[in-house]
């Protein structure tokens, strides 16, 4: 957490701001506290875009999408004022690094750990799709590795199934290395686009790089549209087979998320190893007693030989984490903070 800067608000709504957590595509994210002292993440639309009607509409859509999604792998909106000046949204705070930060610090995951990650993300995406939404920006920076499993965050460009790929200004929005071919070609974007992004994320998790990486946007776009994915030396087997199916160029050739979950979930429940926490600066007036870090369970079993896959139905920027660990509920929006913390029994403790 970084300290507040000159010009930052000290209060948003009823929430006292304690420091900066990070910045998103549209706004700044702060660590805040409720009047009762509970930690929250507060996302505020940046001042330079508050007068832009398009950004206000996108922010309002993000709030609506985040509120509608349930499940253990997304996050819970505590409060929001999309029509305020500036607009803001508050989510429960869950500590943990992004997947991108974790890989940068610890290196790629094992296939077994990536299998557990894939099962959790497939379940989270299924919850999003059941709400009639396509996330459209699943990437390592939008996945928070909380102590009890990953969270999918940032619904800034999530749209209803069948919505246009382009914004009102005909600008392509997303992170190119994790976007699907149809997002570049202008074809209809369906939940199958999130399946492609899932394949990109899992390839990144085990290799440390995107499967269609390039030095320029044009190189990346060409490779996404025309080239086979670079999966490095990932061994042949069920995990690689499922990832390759997710990365099929044609949406109808990608597997059902239910099939991905069945294949990966068969390896047994497990938590992906967490990054050793870097303790943030303690927020003012909050006591942080030291406790032993929680035990992390590592998956020991390999994938079954008979990976189950299927066909996805054709129906139709780094962030931080927000969630309430002591009272985790389906549907939370997470905001990330470097380090780790645990909320329980009305106390906030810093894990060192």
Count each helix (H run) and each strand (E run) in the chain, helices first. 8, 13
Q: What is the pLDDT of residue 308?
A: 41
pLDDT, tens digit, for every residue of 112-123? 999 999 999 999
137 is catalytic: yes
Here the tokens at position 265 are 């979930």
pLDDT at residue number 81? 95
Q: How far apart are CA 221 and CA 208, in angstroms?
A: 19
The neighbour count for residue 211, using CB atoms within 10 Å, is: 24
Domain residue spans of the chain = 104-275+301-316
**Is the preceding peptide bond at 86 cis, omega within 30 degrees of 0?**
yes
pLDDT > 50? residue 180? yes
Q: What is the mean pLDDT of residues 151-157?
A: 80
Q: What are phi and psi of 142, to 5 degrees?
A: -105, 20
Q: Which of 214, 76, 52, 73 is nearest to 138 (CA)?
A: 73
Considering only residues 287 and 76, tell me which one the structure prediction assigns the higher pLDDT. Answer: 76
Of the given ranges (122-136, 157-171, 176-190), which has the lowest mean pLDDT?
157-171
Q: Distance between CA atoms of 275 and 99, rounded to whole angstroms? A: 9
Give the pLDDT confidence of 33-50 residue by residue, as tens digits.
999 999 999 999 988 788
Two tokens at 118? 């894939």
CATH number corresponding to 104-275+301-316? 1.10.510.10
- 49-72 mean pLDDT: 85
Q: In terms of pTM, does the model score above 0.75?
A: no
Report the C-alpha gap between 205 and 193 in whole angstroms.
Answer: 19
Q: Dihedral, CA atoms, 137, 142, 148, 149, nearest 10 degrees?
A: 40
> How far apart are the C-alpha atoms of 325 and 345, rounded to whole Å?
11
pLDDT of residue 76: 85
Q: Is the dihedral of CA 198, 141, 317, 332 positive or negative?
A: positive
- CA distances to 135, 175, 328 from 210, in Å: 18, 11, 31
d(CA 349, CA 134): 35
Rounded Cα distance between 38 and 341, Å, is: 13
Which among 52, 83, 137, 213 is annotated as catalytic? 137
- pLDDT at residue number 50: 85
Mean pLDDT rounded to a whole number for the chain: 78
Judge whether residue 322 has pLDDT over 60: no
Q: Does the pLDDT value for residue 158 go beyond 90?
A: no
- What confidence tens digit (pLDDT) does each residue in 125-145 have? 999 999 889 998 999 999 999
């Amino acid at each position: 957490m970084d300290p507040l800067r000159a010009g930052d608000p000290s209060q948003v709504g009823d929430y006292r701001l304690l420091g900066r957590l990070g910045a998103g595509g549209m706004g700044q994210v702060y660590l805040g506290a409720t009047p009762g002292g509970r930690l929250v993440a507060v996302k505020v639309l940046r001042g330079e875009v508050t007068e832009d009607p398009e950004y206000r509409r996108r922010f309002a859509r993000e709030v609506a999408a985040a509120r509608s999604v349930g499940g253990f792998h997304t996050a819970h909106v505590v409060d929001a004022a999309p029509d305020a000046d500036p607009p803001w949204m508050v989510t429960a705070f869950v500590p943990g690094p992004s997947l991108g930060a974790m890989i940068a610090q610890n290196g790629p995951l094992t296939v077994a750990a990536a299998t557990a990650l894939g099962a959790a993300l497939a379940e989270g995406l299924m919850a999003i799709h059941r709400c009639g939404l396509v996330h459209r920006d699943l990437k390592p920076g939008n996945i928070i590795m909380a102590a009890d499993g990953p969270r999918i965050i940032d619904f800034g460009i999530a749209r209803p199934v069948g919505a246009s790929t382009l914004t009102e200004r005909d600008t392509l929005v997303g992170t190119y290395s994790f976007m699907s071919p149809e997002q570049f070609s202008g074809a209809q974007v369906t939940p199958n686009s999130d399946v492609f992004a899932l394949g990109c994320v899992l390839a990144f998790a085990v290799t440390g790089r995107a499967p269609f990486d390039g030095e320029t946007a044009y190189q990346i776009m060409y490779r996404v549209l025309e080239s086979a994915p670079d999966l490095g030396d990932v061994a042949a087997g069920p995990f690689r087979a499922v990832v390759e199916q997710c990365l099929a160029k044609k949406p109808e050739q990608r597997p059902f998320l239910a099939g991905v979950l069945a294949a990966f979930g068969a390896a047994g429940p497990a938590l992906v190893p967490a990054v050793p926490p870097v303790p943030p600066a303690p927020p003012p007036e909050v006591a942080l007693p030291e406790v032993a870090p929680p035990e992390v369970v590592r998956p020991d079993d390999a994938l079954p030989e008979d990976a189950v896959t299927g066909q996805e139905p054709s129906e139709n920027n780094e962030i931080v984490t927000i969630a309430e660990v002591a009272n985790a509920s389906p549907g939370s929006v997470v905001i990330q903070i470097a380090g780790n913390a645990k909320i329980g029994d009305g106390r906030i403790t810093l894990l060192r």
